[in-house]
Every structure is written in C-alpha cells, then in structure tokens.
Chain A
C-alpha cells in the first residue's frame, strides 16, 4: 500500500507523444518558476532594508524589459499551441479502417458491444497494435470515457454519438474511469481495459457465443417492418439503404450530409430532422421502441448494406 507510482502507465501510440509535450511543459514551468524564485530571493536578500547594497540607477520603467517578458513568453506559448494542436488533430481523426466498438454509458456502468456481437460490462477487450474507434452514447446523463494509460478522454453525451480512438501498444490491464460527475456512484463507474495479443483477442472473441451486431440489426430491421418502406433497389416511400453508408445525401433543404453513424442514429430517433430529397417526412420516430443497444445494432446493419466506404474518405 505504501508504494505508489509517480508516472502513469503508457500504453497507446498517443501516450508517448502527449507525454513528450507534458514533460516539455514541465520544463518550461520549472524554468519560469526558477526565474521568478531566484529573482525574488535575490532581491529580498540583497536589497533587504538593512543591507548597504547600492540602489544606484534603480528604475521603475523599462520598455525593453516589458517587451522582452511579453514577447518571449508569447513566442513560447504559441509554439506550445501549435505543437499541441497538431497532436490533438491526430488524436481526433481516427485512421480509416479502425475497428469500431460501441459503448453505451448509463448510471453507473459501461455497456460495450463488439461488431462480432460480444457484449461486456465495465470491461473492454481490445487487440494490441490495431486502431480502435469507440462509438459512444449515453442513455441518461453526461459521462466521460477515460483511459489514463492511453491519455484519452471523451465526454459521452445523451442524444448523440461521441467518438474517440486509440491504438494500444502494450498488452496489459488498465484503468477505465468515468471522468464526468454523473451522480451517486460516479466513482463506481469504473472498469478495466484489457489489451490482448491478436491471437488471444481472437480467442476471446470466439469464446462468446454471440450474434454479430449486424445480424441482430437485420432481425430488428425485419421485426420493425423497416423494409416496408426502405426496400432494396428502387423504392417509392423511403430511400434505399443499399450502399448508403459513407455516401453524401442531398436533403430537401438543399444541404448535403454524409451518411455516417450519427446521421443513421438521428434518422431513426428523429426522422424529420434530415429528409432526403425526393421523399416525404412521414417516417415515425422509434425513440421509445428501441434501446440504445438496438439502435447501435441497426446502425451496424445499415452500415453493412454494401457501400462499405468509410466516412473519413469523403471530403
């Protein structure tokens, strides 16, 4: 109990990059703290009331100094800004072809489903060395999916998908925390991220007897009669969903949107929000008929209906 780490585990590709910036900031902070402390202590000792040190040439204004200690810190600050922003952009844009895992947060647990169908609660199994993209939503309040060893965190909001991605570098077991206060058992909304070698991960996937998310989605598609309107091929009432995913959709208001997961989710829950050109807004909402997990399965099913082009390849 009485031993403790001073540095967090470092187990993702971005962790190393973030730490380099972190330690640079530590160095900058130490440098400026020292400048101030040395300046204060020097003056306090040398120019204490009783000291005989000469006060000849004391000034109380100096334009050059003022400019120096404005412009130099400004330059350093802007340097950090650029470094940090470039890194942040990379942390945000998932590489195309990243494997996608669905996360649903609720008071007070994390529910996770892999596309192959495996479900877990408060545990996330991932393979080492592969980019993983998390597609997350909350069924109640705001949560935040935080893996300190990966240096990533993203708030998980009700009513929309939030995403983040990572690529684990070292097999092991790491903390998963909820980082946004969410009520009584906020500190109990924790879990483990288990990073496995590829063969172990595949063994783990095979270990669960489960239906792939897209198959569950296909079942739901039938069960709720979606195919009545969204027929394959040419259709009269609703737009065809074949090859839709990742394509641009022209809306009746003239806007164009990419048919990504968020678009599909919104179209199930709030169909009138974005109506495709040439169609009428008569689809009812499925807000109270589908669970968040079922919506994810439907989204995964529609995603698989041909046109596998990933959203990130479009402008």
Chain B
C-alpha cells in the first residue's frame, strides 16, 4: 500500500463545518452520503434483529419463542425493512452519492438541494414505517398480496403504505439527480465509453428507478384506498381482481431486484480490475450487459406468477424472457473471471468480498434457472427454495457487493485504513455463515417446506437448525465490520489520496476529499482502468 502520499489538509468535507446543523442542512453530496450511511445502517440492524428472532423461532418445529401473529409480523417487517430501507438505497444512496460526482469529475450532483430532500424523504418515510411497525406492526408479507392485505389483515397496512409511498419519492429524486449528473456534468474528455462501469451501473439503476417507482407508488395508493375505504380494485368480493395487484406489484418489484444487484455489479467491476491490476475484460460487453439487464428487467415480472392463475401462454412468454436475463448476467460473471486471468492479484479485503460476491451470485443466478423454468417453478415457488435463491442474490450478491465497496472506498471516505486482518477474517466469516444459513434452505424448499411457515413438520428440523446456526455466524460477520470500521476512526488519518493505486477520478482527490472535490476541473484523455500487471498494488 502507498501510505506515503500527502495526508489531506484539514479543509476536507468532514471539517468543512461543525455541529448538527452543518450536517442536517448540508448540500454536499459526500455529507449526504454519510447521513445515508448512518440511516441505512440503523435499518439494517433493525431488519437483522427481526431475522435473528425468525431464525430462533424456527429452531424447533413447534411455535415457542413468539406467537404466530408476531412471527408473521416479524417476517413482514424483516422484508419491508431490508428491501425498502436498506437494499434499495444501500449502494446508490451511500456509495453512489459519494462517488458519482467524483467519478465524473464534478463538484457535486446536478441538484444538491434535491439530494438533501431525498434524504429527508427517506427519513420521514422510514420513521413513519418504523412507527407503524412499533405500534402494531404489519403481517401481510412484504408483497402485500390482496385481498389479504386490503380486506382481511387487521394490522397497520395503511400507515406502512403511506411510509413506503413517501420513501418512493426519495428513490426517484436520487435517480433523477444521478441521471442529470451523468448526462450533463462529465469532465471534458469523459465520453460515455470512458465511464467507469460503476457509473454505468448507477445510470442503469437510476433509469429503472425512475421508470418503476411511480408504478409501485400508484399501486400502494390503490391498495391504501381499498384498505381504508373499500374501493373495489383488487378484492373480488368488491368487484376487483387480486391478480391485477400482483401484476402491478411485480412490475416494479422485479426490476427492484436489479435496482439492488446492478450497483453491486458496478462495485465488483471496479474492485476486480483494481486488485487484478488488469483492465476489465470486455468493457463494452460489460456496459451493454448492464443496460441489457435494465431493459429486460421490465419484461419478466410474470415469472412470479406461474401458479397464480395467469394464462399458461403468458407464463411461457415470461419464462422465455426470464431465461434471456440469464445471458447478460452470465456475461458479467465470465468477464470478471477473465479479468483475473494473467492479472497480478493482491488479496486485500475488497477483492475477498468480490470473490464472495462472484461465487454467491453465480449460485443465486443459476438457481434462478430453476424458477424461470415453468415445470420446476410450480414445485419450488413459495417454498424455501425461493427464500434461499433471493437471499443468495440480495444478501450474497447485493450486500457482499456493498461491503466490497465500503471497504474499497472507506479510505477515501474517512482518510483511514481499517484493520485488514480483522476485515479479511470477517469476509471469511460472512461467506461461511452465509452458506450455512441459506444453502440448507435450497434443500428444504425442494423437500417442499413452504415459506412463511411458523410451525413445520418435524422432518424439516435438522436443516432448519443448520440454517439458524449459520445465521448466528452470519450475524457475527456483520457485527465485526461495524467494530473495526468505527475503530479505524479513532486513529489519525493514515492514507494518501490513492492507497490502492487505483485508476479513476475519485482517487485523484484528497482522502477525505475537499468540499468541492477537485481544485480544478479534471480532463480525461483515455480509457478507464489503465492498469498494468507489472505495476502492482
């Protein structure tokens, strides 16, 4: 590591102002990123606490730790918290906010005040939902299927729906900001095909967010009207159609899966090429694959509904389109692997998380084939196979990618290096704990154990015990980084502007960067990722 570069002068973004007001009224994208980092970390541990209680309840086949009502609320609130308040904002709102302007050579996002508004909307939506969860909870599952949610659930459906509706605007505003910034504020010479893949990923994610989020917002409003006033939209007893809700819900919520995973793919691309000291393999294919995934993500929602009663021919069309999404995903995995070939690989923490990501995402992606395939999906859908599959994508994929990024850019964000021994240890613990938690769930699903079951037949216990044991290790794996990352803040700054020897404009700023990032507008005169294996990290 190159620790011998200039240590940042005090007028960095952290020391640009003091006191709570200087943070709550900041328009600096980097400070807003820190606000998001704190908020989503809070929600992550809230959601994780729910998960811990779920896994403890499932240690035994009978219901013992909590009541059935509580269990149903716990898995609902786990899903709602993790999906809407952690996964969707995680990389875009924290790393994206921090890095997008720097990576394109700009002083800030296009609309700094709008950016602050995004965080306030997130916070209001989050507090509203948290309040609804604490004062009674919600038990509909994060999918809110009608008519259960609208006509039968006796829990806080309307307040949660209002919270999520507010939250949606936060996503939309951040996405608009990114799109405008990437289009209009690139440094001279930074053409589209010179952009880092992280920017491509942020761009694709933003496009999906802007197109998809309004649909879920409208759907939630309709659900709220039906729940509160009995508008007959989804409940057949009122003249509605419950399948319509599923179409509208998944029209957003399937693309939302890509809102969660594309940013991680962007991070992994940055990390792999940096620590392999080799230009990313197939840059153009990687960029097109990102955009291809974004387009296809809107055409596959029906694969959540193969047993719902939708037409079997519609099911076939969605099945074929779902198989198509596998191709750009495969292209990405093969290209990362090929990037390592004949590189010069040094094993710092970020690439360990990247290895974890590639392995777990591969398993998550391949098990997706079982679910895109109609005949096998009939058996596997709504079982623990689904639960395992999407946790491989969202936890094994999205969170591993988030942690890879957090470890990669932590020195840039804070000006300090964390303890790498602990960091590598926690990457290993997470990988082991994750697989022990979720792999048994594939087998449980194939054996036929339905998801969202509070009690279950005895023969499923051994695999559930394994899963709970794994979850304990996994939980530990999330607490260790909290400790050593916070610990790193206690020591004086110890990294220069570019500790990893990485390319990219963000590494040309001091660590931590100054408020306006660059002293003068940078000029770009070549391709990204100009690494060479001879020059080693």
On A, residues with C-beta under 8 Å from B are: 1-8, 14, 17-18, 21-22, 25, 28-29, 32-33, 36-37, 39-40, 42-44, 47-49, 55, 57-62, 65-66, 69-70, 73-74, 77-78, 80-81, 83-85, 87-89, 91-92, 107, 140-142, 144, 146, 148-149, 151-155, 157-160, 162, 175, 177-188, 190
Contact (Cβ within 8 A) A43 B285: no
Structural contact, B453 and A187, CB atoms closer than 8 A: yes
Q: Cβ of A155 and Cβ of B448 under 8 Å apart?
A: no
Q: Which of A7, A25, A160 contacts B370 (CB 8 A)?
A: A25
A32, B362: Cα distance in complex, Å: 8
Distance between Cα atoms of A39 and B338 in the complex (Å): 8
Given the interface contacts A4-B460, A6-B443, does A151 sit within 8 Å of B141 by beta carbon?
Answer: no
Instruction: Decide if A183 touches B379 in the complex (CB within 8 Å).
Output: no
Q: Interface 1/0s, chain B 309-327, versus A by CB < 8 A?
A: 1001001100110011011
Residue among A3, A141, A146 with max Cβ neighbours from chain B (10 Å): A141
**Taking CB as reference atom, which chain B residue is nearest A43?**
B340
Q: Are B236 and A92 in contact (CB under 8 A)?
A: no
- The answer to whether A178 touches B148, judged by C-beta atoms less than 8 angstroms apart, is no
User: Could you jot down 9 A-B contacts, CB within 8 Å?
Assistant: A2-B462, A39-B340, A59-B281, A142-B242, A146-B450, A148-B383, A153-B379, A158-B147, A187-B455
Closest chain B CB from A31 CB (angstroms): 9
Neighbour of A144 across the interface among B307, B346, B355, CB < 8 A: B307
Are A60 and B373 within 8 A (Cβ)?
no
| Cβ–Cβ contact B330 & A70, under 8 A | yes
Q: Which residues of A contact B341 (CB under 8 A)?
A: 39, 42-43, 47, 58
Residues of chain B within 8 A of A39, CB atoms compared: 337-338, 340-341
Report if A17-B382 is in contact (Cβ < 8 Å); known contacts: A8-B447, A32-B362: no
A187 and B452 contacting across the interface, CB-CB below 8 Å? yes
| Residues of chain B lying within 8 A (CB to CB) of residue A32 | 330, 362, 366
Q: Are A107 and B152 in contact (CB under 8 A)?
A: yes
Indicate whether A152 sits within 8 Å of B236 (C-beta atoms), given known contacts A43-B345, A184-B69, A186-B454.
Answer: no
Q: How far is the CA of A21 from the CA of B370 in the complex (A)?
A: 9
Contacting residues, chain B, for A87 (C-beta < 8 A): 374-375
Q: How far is the CB of B388 from chain A (nearest CB, A)?
A: 13
Verify B359–A7 contact, CB threshold 8 A. Answer: no
Tell me which of B327, B344, B376 contacts A70 (CB under 8 A): B327
**A179-B382 contact given A29-B366, A155-B308, CB 8 Å threshold:** yes
Give A272 Cβ to nearest chain B Cβ, in Å.
Answer: 12
When distances are taken between beta carbons in the complex, the residues of chain B under 8 Å from A3 are 462
Closest residue on chain A to residue B527 by CB atoms: A60
CA distance A177 to B243 in the complex (A): 21
Do A160 and B326 touch (CB < 8 A)? Answer: no
Give the one of A29, A73, A81, A146 with max B CB within 10 A: A81
Who on chain A is nearest to B69 by CB? A184
Contacts of A84 in B (CB 8 A): 319, 373-376
Closest residue of chain B to A31 (Cβ to Cβ) is B366
Contacts of B453 in A (CB 8 A): 186-187
Contacting residues of chain B (207-230) with chain A, CB-CB under 8 angstroms: none
Closest to B312 in A: A92
B280 at the interface (CB under 8 A from A): yes
Contact for A88 among B312, B533, B534, CB less than 8 A: B312
- Determine if A187 and B148 form an interchain contact, defined as CB atoms under 8 angstroms apart: no
A88 with B446: CB separation less than 8 A: no
Residues in B with CB closer than 8 Å to A14 are 375
A187 lies within 8 A of B456 (CB)? yes
Residue in A55, A142, A181 whose CB lies within 8 Å of B533: A55
Residues of B within 8 A of A92 (CB): 312
Q: What residue in chain A is nearest B344 (Cβ atoms)?
A: A49
